[in-house]
């Protein structure tokens, strides 16, 4: 049975152990049985508002004894994350519970001056002046930390705005995305693993493919989904595919439940997909144009984003002109590339984008080599046999596809 494979279980609360104030079928018995078998337990909630003591009391009232040290809320995980990084000062937009957790991690709340971080959690009494102060501090250099990303929480009245809605306001005004601590981000699971023996086999049990399953896989843990049936809209390789699906917590003890090998993510999970372009510019000798990128010092094909309102071919021509000063015309499409290992880019401002890059073969028609110094610190033509070794990861393949005369390569 599934329970035998693991030493520790990281249990999501809402939708796994209870819904609102009522325990779910089998949950109370299953928690007791896991305890009797000597399993370590952690109780995880993305709700940053309650203290861990309040969550423990709520579980105990429902018949599931829990120690404060076993509870991990988005607020306590944020506190653990800041403590690990020795962050001492914060400006906080959040609940009493969040403040209590941060105080326990020796974080001082700063009303004047520049704190190291701005922490935003769900605050039901948030005011314009709170948002204004958060925006000002982030603009001046404080790091932007979010307890959790959830845009709403469910109520009998329908969805109400939660942390994500407040984050959106701050991001809209600053252009900065927060470092998110709660599920599906790895810090929440790192906080849950604190205190477990090294090498303990841990599984996450949750009811959301997008947060619990994805989060488990980002943290390198096995993911068990509670759902009426295995999800059909995800496919192999998608990190939201659970390693096992059970209908209630009793499924942990069923002899029939199969367990797949947990998937390991090799790239940061993107928040958006953007179109990009690359240009393989060959001169009359067949030499290829490369630029040395200002951001990482590597050589690569001229490349960039597609801007609003332009075609991909125009974007390729514009990028070559902007980066190198050379005017080119597009001769043909070589291929379209999306492989996440090289096409997912994490930016300093917190954005993580996956690019779908169209690569074009191009011919010079005018201009003169003049690297712009901003994106490209150098630009020159290289004979194909004498390419630099410090070349961007996928660019040798893209170049090979162009030289092979492939049309419609895709990866
Ligand atoms: Mg849940």
What digits encode the pLDDT tens for the residues 187-237? 999 999 999 998 899 999 999 999 999 999 999 999 999 998 877 766 667
- 207 Cα: distance to centroid of ligand 1 (angstroms): 5
Q: How far is the CA of 76 from the centre of ligand 1 (A)?
A: 17
Phi, psi of 259 (to 5 degrees): -125, 125
Buried b (16+ CB within 10 A) or exposed e, 5-44: ebebbbbbbbebbbeeeebbebbbbbbebbeeeebbbbbb
Q: How far is the CA of 206 from the centre of ligand 1 (A)?
A: 6
Question: Model's pTM, two decimal places?
Answer: 0.80
Active-site residue, selected from the candidate residues 12, 47, 130, 212: 12
Sorted by where each starts, the structural domains of the chain and their CATH numbers stand as 2-46+184-253 (3.40.50.1000), 76-180 (3.40.50.1000), 272-410 (3.90.79.10)
Active site residue 349: no
Q: Mean pLDDT score of the chain, rounded to an integer?
A: 92
Which residue out of 7, 14, 238, 372 is catalytically annotated?
14
pLDDT digits 0-9 by tens, 312-344 = 999 999 999 999 999 999 999 999 999 888 899
Determine the distance separating the centroid of ligand 1 and the alpha carbon of 16, expressed in angstroms: 6
- Based on the residue annotation, tell me whether 238 is a catalytic residue of this protein: no
């Amino acid at each position: 049975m599934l329970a035998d494979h693991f030493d520790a279980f990281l249990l999501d609360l809402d939708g796994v152990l209870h819904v609102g104030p009522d325990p779910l079928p089998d949950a109370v018995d299953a928690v007791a049985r896991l305890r009797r078998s000597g399993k370590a337990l952690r109780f995880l909630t993305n709700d940053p508002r309650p203290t861990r003591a309040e969550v423990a009391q709520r579980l105990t009232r429902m018949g599931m004894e829990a120690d404060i040290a076993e509870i991990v809320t988005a607020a306590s995980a944020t506190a653990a994350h800041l403590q690990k990084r020795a962050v001492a000062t914060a400006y906080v937009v959040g609940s009493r519970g969040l403040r209590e957790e941060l105080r326990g991690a020796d974080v001082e709340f700063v009303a004047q001056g520049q704190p190291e971080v701005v922490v935003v959690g769900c605050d039901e009494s948030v005011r314009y002046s709170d948002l204004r102060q958060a925006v000002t501090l982030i603009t001046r250099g404080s790091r932007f930390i979010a307890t959790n990303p959830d845009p709403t929480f469910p109520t009998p009245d329908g969805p109400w705005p939660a942390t994500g809605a407040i984050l959106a306001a701050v991001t809209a005004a600053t252009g900065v995305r927060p470092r998110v601590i709660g599920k599906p981000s790895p810090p929440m699971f790192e906080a849950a693993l604190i205190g477990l023996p090294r090498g303990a086999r841990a599984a996450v049990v949750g009811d959301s493919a997008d947060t619990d399953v994805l989060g488990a896989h980002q943290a390198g843990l096995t993911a068990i989904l509670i759902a009426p049936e295995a999800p059909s809209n995800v496919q192999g390789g998608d990190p939201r595919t659970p390693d096992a699906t059970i209908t209630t917590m009793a499924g942990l003890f069923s002899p029939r439940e199969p367990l797949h090998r947990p998937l390991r993510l090799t790239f940061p999970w993107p928040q958006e997909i953007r179109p990009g372009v690359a240009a393989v510019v060959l001169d009359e000798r067949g030499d290829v144009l490369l630029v040395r990128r200002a951001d990482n010092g590597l050589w690569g094909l001229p490349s960039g984003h597609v801007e609003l309102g332009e075609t991909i071919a125009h974007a390729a021509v514009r990028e070559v002109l902007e980066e190198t000063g050379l005017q080119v015309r597009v001769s043909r499409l070589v291929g379209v590339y999306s492989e996440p290992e090289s096409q997912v880019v994490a930016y300093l401002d917190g954005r993580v984008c996956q690019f779908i890059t169209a690569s074009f073969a191009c011919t010079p028609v005018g201009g003169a080599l003049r690297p712009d110094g901003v994106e490209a610190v150098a630009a020159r033509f290289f004979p194909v046999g004498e390419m630099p070794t410090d070349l961007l990861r996928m660019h040798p393949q893209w170049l090979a596809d162009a030289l092979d005369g492939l049309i419609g390569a895709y990866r």
